[in-house]
Structure 1
């Protein structure tokens, strides 16, 4: 049995950053990662960075046009470029930890024996047992696959992770699920040249978002040829010759769609399978996440959970902030918590991208705020005209009593950058007038904040 001071299970953003910080503080750390294809975590291997690499390549390809075969060749080149980038980042992340004298990296599946002991079934067939004072769970989330007949058996069905390795551009793509991941893939593959159909069971498109902005997003997608079918149930999937047949139940009756690829994008669940958390006294929430307090401590006092497995917002930067919260307890003054991290922005990398922070108008009114609304069509922004992307809508929600910004929705080019300005202003408690009267460089998308907050509807 190997004794160490800390064990981190999962090479995600929070875990790997914490491992480095603990090692730098002189502690002996063991990092346990299930697969040698996942060094560095979900983000760099099968999520954020590879998808954004493909999103960028898809937009370049769309601008070039050409026949489907020309687009297919560019798509294959984009996959190869993505693979080179991912391999490089994976290696850098591995060596950043493995080369540190205080860190040991074990490749294998970890599971709890009790609150202080972890068994590791090594990838090479061996076994290792670890004893540690402190243990950190950072195992992320996994795709949820609904129990649809034929779905798991089909040769043409992919998850968001396996879709990234598809080397042949599908002429037709069906996406099951109209959430953020599904819509991002829909936009990306439409730019590459696929005919994309999205099917969702709900009636509302992007139901968590402001209705006006969601309508603008849907209109933009449909103008680009992406078909979004709502109030649809997927009954079964069967394989044909070179394609899948997807049987649907709609309000108008039965319908069958064919496609060379089917993407399942029906959400992700905390990845706790095989951890044997019950042996350590670690409890789960009703939704299957590891139960934690505001300091991310689990029901076992020497065990913490970070990132997607802890059931919070599934973003890499939340996992990073979880690291800050845990580090604050172990190496700092303990002041950081999940309750004081402020407004959390997010972006969906459509074309153009959609970004949001804070409350929608509906949510703000439901919470009893008297609100003022600011709206600006993207066509009125000079930089959007320069970029030849005059599509979208900006909308902000303001507390009428304090003039503080309660939320913002940006459906426009470069929204993923501008949203961070709004997050900073909200966390600082600044009135909207500060952004309205600020001096911005020109031409930029951020200068649209001048006009947006000058368009207050009292």
Structure 2
């Protein structure tokens, strides 16, 4: 059987449903194919369940600190991990159900459950059915990468997906990978009561960040009793009577760490290896990401790739912006480009890191004349009042153009406060414009104009 459409969307992640709404509203007969869970990574195994767990971990942490605020606890803080898990499951299930209900009730949209594979540049097969359309949009997401490390096939391990199924606190969680996903789970489970060790092959945590950010985050985690093992030059795994023995071979410390559970958090890979892309002639890069141009079009006319599968962003908000770009160009006569997007993201440990634009190291390498300002959270009134003074704020600007190049806010409310800077960068405003704003007191954001007034020249790299 063959069904003809004006457009086909593969994947019901962050970009797919909203794109379906725009296409059907424009009068296009549209099909959306989903092989597993509606809502994609964010709803099911990413942002929503993990940030729900982070919130539970924060509540436990704050409860233990009650005496610091003059609150006398009724007894020791205990963790009902089954209840913690149920809460996260409920948040995900409600969101997933809402997405599916919206799609199934959308006029002009046909929802098809199954695995789609190309049989030509305008044809997909789902089971026994062929679907054809002149416009095909791939929103197939990604999954955890499991590198072929020594012994990995001989032990049980967790990924960011399977760890969500734990309904008991691990005795000792070993997190392999010292980047964003790994660190969030590390702190979360430490606050639930687990012993936690983070193993990172590189010389420092979250290596893409500036060294002062990496060092501060390591200090924050260490202060909570998390062991961090960097320079793990030869990571390997062996079964052990107490769980899994992880070889780390670090420059200092014991060469092996034994954990009851091991989380592999060493990157992501796109879900592009079973789409039949070769049959359509769609190019992928060496890592498997679908190659797209600045408008998110592939090398095959009529096929676009959005979200995690295109290698142009690894976040829910960038996937949604991919939808906005494609919809604006296709339906509104615009000429939006991915290259115009200012990168911004957050790391959801506590306190969180909000980041936008260039790091200081990237700015130094660019050869610009730079201005930098940095302020510890110990000098931020809002942080002092909350007794959450770990971290710092930093802004980097171009001395000649007076444009903000980037910023990092590692501290309480940093994931929200960073948007004041992100918005000014998107507006193309120079930093004196923001410097003379009158922010609300007491907030974290109120220190941004003060920091801009304290910008000082720094030397270039090299």
Specify the TM-score bucket, using the shorter chain as the normaliser: over 0.9
Q: Is the 8 A contact 2:229 2:250 kept in 1?
A: no
Q: TM-score, with normalisation over the residues of structure 1?
A: 0.94
* Cα deviation, residue 261, structure 1: 1.3
3-state SS of 1:409 partner = strand
* Cα deviation, residue 453, structure 1: 1.8
Aligned to 1:324: 324
Distance change >3 Å, CA 153–CA 71, structure 1 → 2: farther
Q: TM-score, with normalisation over the residues of structure 2?
A: 0.93
Count of matched residue positions in the alignment of Structure 1 and Structure 2 = 448
Cα deviation 1:14-62 (Å, max 9, x = unaligned):
1121011111112111111111xx2011101100111111111100011
1:102 and 2:108 correspond: yes
5 Å-filtered alignment, 1:206-225, equals: 206-225=206-225
Distance change >3 Å, CA 68–CA 31, structure 1 → 2: farther
Distance change >3 Å, CA 252–CA 209, structure 1 → 2: closer
3-state SS of 2:273 partner = coil
* Cα deviation, residue 238, structure 1: 3.0
Aligned to 1:230: 230
5 Å-filtered alignment, 1:50-449, equals: 50-65=49-64, 71-73=78-80, 75-121=81-127, 127-155=128-156, 157-241=157-241, 243-251=243-251, 255-341=255-341, 343-449=342-448
Mean Cα deviation higher: 447-456 or 109-118: 447-456
* Cα deviation, residue 253, structure 1: 8.6
Q: Is the 8 A contact 1:76 1:169 kept in 2?
A: no
1:39 and 2:46 correspond: no
Cα distance in 2, alignment partners of residues 367 and 64 from structure 1: 46
Aligned to 1:124: none
Distance change >3 Å, CA 19–CA 68, structure 1 → 2: farther
* Cα deviation, residue 347, structure 1: 0.3
* Cα deviation, residue 197, structure 1: 0.6
Cα distance in 1, alignment partners of residues 434 and 235 from structure 2: 50
* Cα deviation, residue 10, structure 1: 0.8
Aligned to 2:67: none
3-state SS of 2:134 partner = strand
Cα distance in 1, alignment partners of residues 90 and 257 from structure 2: 34
Q: Is the 8 A contact 1:72 1:168 kept in 2?
A: no
* Cα deviation, residue 67, structure 1: 13
CA RMSD in angstroms, aligned pairs only: 1.9
3-state SS of 1:213 partner = helix
Cα distance in 1, alignment partners of residues 126 and 327 from structure 2: 25
Q: Is the 8 A contact 2:60 2:191 kept in 1?
A: yes
* Cα deviation, residue 402, structure 1: 2.3
3-state SS of 1:249 partner = coil
Q: Is the 8 A contact 2:32 2:112 kept in 1?
A: yes
* Cα deviation, residue 148, structure 1: 2.3
3-state SS of 2:158 partner = strand
Distance change >3 Å, CA 326–CA 380, structure 1 → 2: same
Aligned to 2:453: 454
